[in-house]
Structure 1
Amino acid sequence: MESWNQMSADGVRSHAAPGVNKRIDEQVERCVRHMAQQDRKDITPYLEKLEREWDVGRTAMVAGSLVSLVGLWLGRGKPSGWRTVSAVASGLLLHHGLFGFGPLAEVVRAVGKVRTRREIDLEKFALKALRGDFERIPKNDGGPLARANAALVAAQS
């Protein structure tokens, strides 16, 4: 089955193994289907949890920075390979910052099942639609400007 999650502009997702993407998509689909059977009020706490979820970029940056700091600390004052570890971690962080993906992000994603910000947002918007947040958008009342403003307000809730 082809994935419903077609985010080709997502660098991390496009460079991840298809099995990793499929596993994450299936998790999102199970969650949204489960929440569709719950009361609307039960969706809000889960949305709050999603707001706090770390994405691949943040996780990779923290992991890379931590490895770099540990390498510097262990290699302090004497020649050792630990400074090389620090340099490699810094290079991986630079690569991720410049290109939006990299080996560090792929490892974090495969090992920790960490999602991209776009994947998290996709689940959030699906749940907000289930909760009825987008029903406030007027069909034809007030013209295009009123509809645009209502859509922006609905997307923020």
Structure 2
Amino acid sequence: MESWNRMSTDAVRTHTTDGVNRRIDERVEECVRHMAEQDRAAITQYLDKLEREWDLNRMVSVTASAVTVLGLVLGVKGGRGWRVMSGVAAGLLLQHGLLGFGPVAELVRVLGVRTRREIDLEKFALKALRGDFERIPHDGGPLARANAALVAAQS
């Protein structure tokens, strides 16, 4: 199944290599297929876990902010180099905020951190499997239900 994830306007996906995007998409597909065989309680439990998952923007913001604060604190005793590190981290955070992507996001993305849209896509697919939406067929087996849920989550 290759065409279910059509988020081409997403700056992060656009700037991420196809291999990384594919790996993230495959992880979602595998999870949704697995959950298609589970009961409502298991799906609800996994949805709760997804609600707590940090997205790429949060990860980049926290990382850049932590490096900025660390550089400022160490700069008080350690000299100018640490303050420069703070400036670079703040600049990278600004770049990410303005462009929606940057070097820190690229690094975090390679580690498998997903965008909010990607997390929401998985959540909507799982909610569809759980029966929250009427468009998902209840026949055809787990694979057909998983595919229909992923397509419904995009629409």
TM over 0.5: yes
Aligned to 1:13: 13
Deviates further, 54-63 or 93-102? 93-102
Which SS does the other structure have where 1:134 is aligned? coil
RMSD between aligned residues:
1.8
- Structure 2 unmatched runs, 5+: 136-152
Alignment: residue pair count: 136
Instruction: State the structure with bigger RCO (CA 8 A, min sep 6), 1 or 2.
Output: 2
What TM-score do the two structures reach when normalised by structure 1? 0.81
Corresponding residue for residue 38 of structure 2: 38
Determine the C-alpha separation between the residues in 2 that align with 1:79 and 1:116.
36
Contact 1:3 1:25 in 2 (8 A): no
Distance in 1 of aligned mates of 2:78 and 2:113: 36
Secondary structure at 1:57 match in 2:
helix
In 1, the alpha carbon distance for the partners of 2:23 and 2:49 equals 20
Question: Is the radius of gyration larger for structure 1 or structure 2?
Answer: 1
Instruction: Note the residue ranges of structure 1 that are not aligned, 5 or more in a row.
Output: 137-154
With over 3 angstroms needed to count, the CA separation of the structure-2 counterparts of 1:29 and 1:78, relative to structure 1, is closer
* Residue equivalent to 1:120: 119
Letter in 1 for 2:123: K
For normalisation by structure 2, the TM-score amounts to 0.82
2:143 paired residue number: none
Aligned to 1:70: 70
Q: Show structure 1 runs of 4+ deviating over 2 A.
A: 1-4, 77-80
Write out per-residue CA displacement over residues 101-123 of structure 1, whole angstroms, 9 at most, x where no aligned residue: 1111111111x310000000000
Percent pairwise identity = 68
Cα displacement (A) at 1:10: 1.1
Structure 2 equivalent of residue 89 of structure 1:
89
